[in-house]
Amino acid sequence: MSSHLDALESQSIFILREAYSRFSKLGMLWSLGKDSNVMIWLARKAFLGRVPFPVMHLDTGLEFPETYAFRERFTKEWKLDLIADACPPIEQTDPTLPSGSRLAARKSLGLKQALERYAFDGIIAGIRRDEQSTRAKERVFSPRGDDGAWDFRDQPPEFWDHYNTDFPPGTHVRIHPLLQWTEVDIWRYIQREGIPVVPLYFARNGKRFRSLGEEGITLPIDSDAATIADIIAELETTKAPERAGRTMDHEAEDSFERLRASGYM
């Protein structure tokens, strides 16, 4: 297992360094969840203990109090260059989307706003292929339209981990260093490295959050997993999807794909 995690770590560090060398204005998304905390940890390893580009929390104002407390503490402890601009209001989102998806769409608008404001040509995001079927179609280096839109039918091939990083000037690219990781890989790496996470992941009174989002559209699951070892053991037997507590995933069948096509993470 250690060699498996070492291989994933090495691959992700290579991707981060490659992105840093190829893009002139790079930023990293920090959702404050387990995956993006692992991503920051890897970036600190890749660049001698400090993340050399800004990290962005697309703030809807609806995070859990524990999440905001985590952000305040580890922005300082990890010496992060934090951008935490407020996302546009829900009235600016597509009114044809279901209600939970409209809340999520605020982050898409927030990212578009940040791209215009800070002129990033590359954005690092902590998505994984096993997390959701639409994300399984992603590439490690994924070109986007000027508005952040994603055409999953027109993505560059990436055979045998040979990444395409040569894009026309002005192309906006998303970089996904955790794409090959699984949920269990993430937790085993957190356990091995001692990476801090928001305490909502650990069970209290028979409930815990398996995936963190905003209040009102993220629900806890039934669980007694109160430690990382308990979480790993639970994941090794569960058949429930990781995003079972995300209400937007239970809305219209195509809502997540519509969000992703329009620039959602």
pLDDT digits over 127-157, tens only?
A: 998 886 665 677 888 887 665 565 666 666 6
Domain presence at residue 231? no
Assign 250 a pLDDT band (cuts: 50, 70, 90). very low
The amino acid that residue 205 corresponds to is N
Domain presence at residue 238? no
**CA–CA separation, 107 vs 127, rounded Å?**
15
**CA–CA separation, 257 vs 255, rounded Å?**
5
Domain presence at residue 79? yes
Domain presence at residue 163? yes
Identify the CA nearest to 261 among candidates 86, 27, 97, 115: 97
- Alpha helix ranges (H) inside the chain: 2-22, 34-46, 65-77, 99-118, 183-193, 228-235, 255-261
**CA–CA separation, 155 vs 139, rounded Å?**
7
Assign 253 a pLDDT band (cuts: 50, 70, 90). very low
**CA–CA separation, 67 vs 75, rounded Å?**
12
How many domains is the chain partitioned into structurally? 1
Note the pLDDT of residue 161: 65
Residue 103 is part of a domain; what is its CATH number?
A: 3.40.50.620
Assign 159 a pLDDT band (cuts: 50, 70, 90). low
Domain presence at residue 84? yes
Is 35 strand, coil or helix? helix
Q: Per-residue pLDDT for 63 more than 70?
A: yes
Q: Per-residue pLDDT for 93 more than 90?
A: no
State the maximum Cα–Cα separation within the chain, in Å, rounded to a whole number. Answer: 53
Domain presence at residue 154? yes
- 157-183 burial, b at 16+ Cβ within 10 Å, e below that, comes to eeeeeebbbebeeeebbbbbbbbbbbb
**Domain span at residue 75?**
2-182+250-261
Domain presence at residue 227? no
Domain presence at residue 72? yes
